[in-house]
């Protein structure tokens, strides 16, 4: 499935100017304390706040590509677990409503419009996060924007670059710019990269996507070895979950949905918040503190040989 070309945009500050640090308060005055008012009733496909709302209390997380799909699901799960969440989204029209959803459910969330392929954007995002909340314990790189659905012999250098910029460069910027703050967080420091089963076993017609996702998996292993002595854990999640892109593909080809569901042992497709977000919360929490260097394949039993 082809995806539009990358475009570089500037970081915008919808909530406040980055020139005015706001260290005196852990969250904007209009944002309730994370977890304090999260709905107690479980929705189908959501994380139960009663069970999770204190697991990440007092911690701050940046989630890239959190305006929709898996990133949004992880952002909701983090907020339900008590974290302050920064939604680093490429477009305000997706990022702002996503942050609003979290605040409406009683969570702490801010949107910073950020292009993950731009180092200056990522630097500004990290700086603004620390200025607003005082710390950064968790960095999640989920954003991906590149060309897919091309056979290897038809792939152009531009398509390779598009895939590499968001997946590999974005992972690098996320890791290297968050590192000083994760190091300061010590045993609470977490880096989580979103990869794919395709990065483990490969897949037909998406050689570029498979390659850059494999690179993220290798980066996870390498950084876990480098940063382990500092107490920082580095892990990857390889999900199969409902996303807007997948929903569009299913709408075009209903048989595809049946095939994807049939391949999974659980006969369903993962929910971004409950299924993928739940794994991310575990990895970010104290309970996940002894897990590092791993790629957690969260796919309902679709790829058991990985």
Which residues have a catalytic role annotated?
209
CB neighbourhood size of 26 (10 A): 17
DSSP H/E element including 64 = strand 60-64
Closest CA to 240 of 219, 215, 222, 267: 267
Q: Which bin fits 134, alpha (ψ -120 to 50), beta or left (φ > 0)? A: left
- C-alpha 270/C-alpha 122 separation (Å) is 29
Residue 57 vs residues 26, 85, 193, 279: alpha-carbon distances, Å: 12, 11, 21, 17
Task: Tally DSSP H helices, then E strands, for the chain.
Answer: 11, 7
């Amino acid at each position: 499935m082809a995806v539009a070309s990358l475009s570089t945009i500037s970081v915008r500050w919808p909530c406040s100017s980055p020139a005015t640090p706001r260290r005196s308060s852990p969250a904007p005055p209009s944002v309730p304390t994370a977890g304090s008012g999260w709905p107690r009733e479980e929705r189908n496909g959501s994380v139960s706040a009663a069970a999770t709302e204190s697991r990440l209390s007092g911690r701050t997380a940046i989630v890239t590509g959190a305006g929709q799909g898996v990133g949004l699901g992880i952002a909701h799960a983090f907020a339900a677990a008590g974290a302050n969440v920064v939604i680093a989204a490429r477009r305000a029209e997706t990022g702002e409503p996503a942050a609003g959803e979290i605040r409406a459910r009683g969570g702490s969330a801010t949107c910073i419009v950020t292009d993950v392929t731009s180092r200056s954007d990522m630097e500004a995002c990290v700086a603004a996060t620390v200025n607003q909340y005082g710390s950064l314990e968790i960095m999640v790189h989920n954003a991906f924007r590149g060309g897919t659905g091309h056979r290897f012999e038809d792939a152009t250098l531009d398509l390779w670059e598009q895939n590499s910029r968001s997946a590999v460069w974005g992972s690098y910027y996320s890791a290297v710019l968050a590192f000083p703050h994760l190091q300061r967080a010590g045993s609470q420091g977490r880096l989580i990269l979103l990869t794919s089963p395709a990065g483990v076993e490969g897949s037909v017609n998406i050689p570029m996507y498979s390659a850059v996702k494999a690179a993220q998996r290798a980066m996870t292993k390498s950084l876990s070895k480098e940063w382990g002595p500092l107490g920082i854990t580095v892990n990857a999640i390889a999900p199969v979950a409902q996303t807007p892109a997948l929903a569009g593909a299913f709408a075009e080809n209903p048989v595809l949905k049946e095939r994807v569901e049939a391949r999974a042992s659980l006969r369903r497709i993962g929910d971004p918040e409950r299924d993928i977000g739940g794994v991310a919360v575990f990895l970010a929490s104290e309970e996940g503190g002894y897990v590092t260097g791993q790629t957690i394949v969260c796919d309902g039993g679709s790829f058991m040989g990985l």
